Structure 1
Amino acid sequence: MSDLYAVADFCLIPIGTGEPSVAEHIAECQRVLEKSGIKYKLHGYGTNLEGPWSQVSQAIHDCHAAVHAKGAPRIATDIRIGTRIDRNITHGEGNDGKVKRVEEILAKDQK
């Protein structure tokens, strides 16, 4: 079987940095994601990712490595991953498609 297409949401939390803000560490993770080539979108409490499962999990691993290299002695990460095989989802349609469908339903309420 080929690599599953994954839609994921993860929240990486640097621990023990001595700073109240983790923005510098999260920015480092975003730099890693930019280089990864997979689709991603930062939001207030995490990042959405989508792409082949192996690339999504590698990107999360690489974020951990980069944030440790930036000085975080510990990292806690929450991850949710969804896959589906009943529909052919192409690169970049996962999260956007989910949001679009909900927006279409809500738009009907306005009529």
Structure 2
Amino acid sequence: MTDANSDELYAVADFCLIPMGTGAVSVAAEIAECQRILSNGYGTNIEGPWSAVSKAIHDCHAAVHAHGAPRIATDIRIGTRVDRETAPGTGNDHKVRRVQEILQQDNAA
């Protein structure tokens, strides 16, 4: 089910941003630029309204370009669901808890 106050999908996205043409072997500085945009404990696994997720990825691209990368390639995987309510901030936490519950059941058996 989608939020009654919005027609926008809630999305969970995993993305891998790859700066190219920087002349450096390490991309740590560019990834730090992106992390400043996200300020998210999950690193490059983000969740929220589709438009906010898309904007965060866009803003990471803009920040890494501003840091000097002439090219960026990004792989993106986005998941959405409408079969139940997904409270903001619970998409990934629920998944992790569910897997932990299953593993605990295995250990108890």
Tell me whether the two structures share a fold, i.e. TM-score over 0.5. yes
Q: Deviations over 1:9-35 (max 9, x none)?
A: 00000011111111110110011112x
Look at both structures and tell me which one has the larger radius of gyration over its CA atoms: 2
Q: Deviations over 1:57-108 (max 9, x none)?
A: 0110010000000000110100000001111001110011111111111111
Structure 1 counterpart of 2:11: 6
Which structure shows the higher strand fraction? 1
Structure 1 counterpart of 2:50: 53
Q: Structure 1 stretches (4+) deviating beyond 4 angstroms?
A: none
Structure 2, unpaired ranges of 5+: 1-5
Normalised TM-score (structure 1): 0.88
Structure 2 counterpart of 1:16: 21
Structure 2 counterpart of 1:79: 76
Please report how far the alpha carbon of residue 109 of structure 1 lies from its aligned counterpart in structure 2 after TM superposition: 1.3
Structure 1, unpaired ranges of 5+: none
Normalised TM-score (structure 2): 0.90
Q: Output the aligned Cα RMSD.
A: 1.2
Fraction of identical pairs, as percent: 70
How many pairs align? 103
